C-alpha cells in the first residue's frame, strides 16, 4: 500500500502542475527515497526572478496535488505532504506579506488596492504589522492555500484517467523521465 500511495502522491504533483499550467517542465518522477522524501517529482529549475501571481498559484496547485491524489485514490492521508504543506505555506506567506498578492477574504471594504486592510503593506525585518493586519494576512494566506487545494482537487477529479495512468506507470516502473511523462500525458506511450 505504501508504494502505491507514494506513486499516487508523486503522480498528483506532476499531473496538477501540468494541468494548472505550471511553466516548469517535469524532468523526472521517482519513487526512490531522496533524503527524507520517499519519492520526488523534479521540475526544471528555470530562474524566474519576477514570477507572476498565476505562476505562483500554479506552483501551489502542484504542491497540493500529492495530498489530493492520496485523498481521491485512497480516502486516506499519509504524512507525505508535510514538506509540501510547509513549502506551500512559505510561498503563500511571501505572496501576501512581501509581494502584495491575495486579499483578506473577510474584508468589508476592499480599498484602493482590493486587498482590504492589507492595502500595500509589506512586512519587512524592521516593520511588524499590527494585530489586525497580521490576522488579515493569516486569513489571506489560508484563502490562497485553500484555493490551491480546491483547484488541485477539481483538476484531478476532471482527469482521473491521467492520474491513474501516471500513478500506474510509476508503480510499475518506479521511475519516469520527463519525456516518458509527456508521452504518457499526450497518449503516445
Predicted confidence band at 124 (pLDDT cuts at 50, 70, 90)? Answer: low
Joined grid coordinates for residue 75: 480516502
Whether 106 is a known active-site residue: answer no
**Nearest residue to 15 (alpha-carbon basis) of 167, 138, 145:** 167
With b for 16 or more beta-carbon neighbours within 10 A and e for fewer, the 98-120 pattern comes to eebbbbbeebeeeeeeebbbbbe
What confidence score (pLDDT) does residue 46 get? 64
What is the spatial distance between Cα 137 and Cα 141, in angstroms, rounded to a whole number?
6
For the chain, what's the residue count? 189
Residue 81 pLDDT greater than 80, yes or no: yes
The CA angle 180-183-189, to the nearest 5 degrees, is 90
Question: What element of type H or E holds 178?
Answer: helix 178-186
Contact 180, 169 (CB under 8 A): yes
Predicted confidence band at 123 (pLDDT cuts at 50, 70, 90)? Answer: low
Residue 168 pLDDT greater than 60, yes or no: yes
Residue 49 pLDDT greater than 90, yes or no: no
What is the spatial distance between Cα 68 and Cα 76, in angstroms, rounded to a whole number?
10
Contact 104, 116 (CB under 8 A): yes
Residue 98 pLDDT greater than 90, yes or no: no
Please list the residues that pair with 30 across neighbouring strands. Answer: 40, 175
What confidence score (pLDDT) does residue 118 get? 77
What confidence score (pLDDT) does residue 156 get? 97
What's the burial of 7, exposed, middle or buried (CB within 10 Å: 0-12/13-18/19+)?
buried
Please list the residues that pair with 97 across neighbouring strands. Answer: none
Predicted confidence band at 107 (pLDDT cuts at 50, 70, 90)? Answer: confident
Please list the residues that pair with 34 across neighbouring strands. Answer: 37
The CA angle 33-163-67, to the nearest 5 degrees, is 55
Residue 7 pLDDT greater than 70, yes or no: yes
Residue range 155-181: average pLDDT? Answer: 93
The position carrying cell 508503480 is: 171
Predicted confidence band at 187 (pLDDT cuts at 50, 70, 90)? Answer: confident
What confidence score (pLDDT) does residue 76 get? 85
Residue 143 pLDDT greater than 80, yes or no: yes
Predicted confidence band at 183 (pLDDT cuts at 50, 70, 90)? Answer: very high
List 10, 22, 71, 180, catalytic entry: 10
Amino acid at each position: 500500500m505504501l508504494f502505491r500511495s507514494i506513486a499516487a502522491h508523486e503522480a498528483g504533483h506532476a499531473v496538477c502542475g501540468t494541468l494548472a499550467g505550471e511553466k516548469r517542465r517535469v524532468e523526472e518522477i521517482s519513487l526512490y527515497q531522496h533524503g527524507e522524501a520517499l519519492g520526488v517529482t523534479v521540475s526544471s529549475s528555470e530562474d524566474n526572478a519576477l514570477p507572476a501571481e498565476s505562476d505562483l498559484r500554479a506552483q501551489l496547485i502542484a504542491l497540493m496535488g500529492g495530498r489530493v491524489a492520496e485523498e481521491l485514490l485512497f480516502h486516506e492521508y499519509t504524512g507525505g505532504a508535510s514538506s509540501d504543506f510547509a513549502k506551500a505555506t512559505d510561498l503563500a506567506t511571501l505572496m501576501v506579506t512581501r509581494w502584495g498578492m491575495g486579499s483578506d477574504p473577510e474584508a468589508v471594504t476592499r480599498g484602493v488596492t482590493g486587498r482590504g486592510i492589507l492595502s500595500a503593506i509589506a512586512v519587512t525585518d524592521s516593520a511588524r504589522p499590527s494585530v489586525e493586519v497580521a490576522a488579515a494576512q493569516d486569513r489571506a494566506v489560508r484563502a490562497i492555500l485553500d484555493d490551491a487545494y480546491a483547484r488541485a482537487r477539481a483538476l484531478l477529479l476532471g482527469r482521473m484517467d491521467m492520474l491513474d495512468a501516471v500513478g500506474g506507470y510509476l508503480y510499475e516502473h518506479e521511475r519516469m523521465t520527463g519525456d516518458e511523462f509527456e508521452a504518457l500525458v499526450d497518449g503516445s506511450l
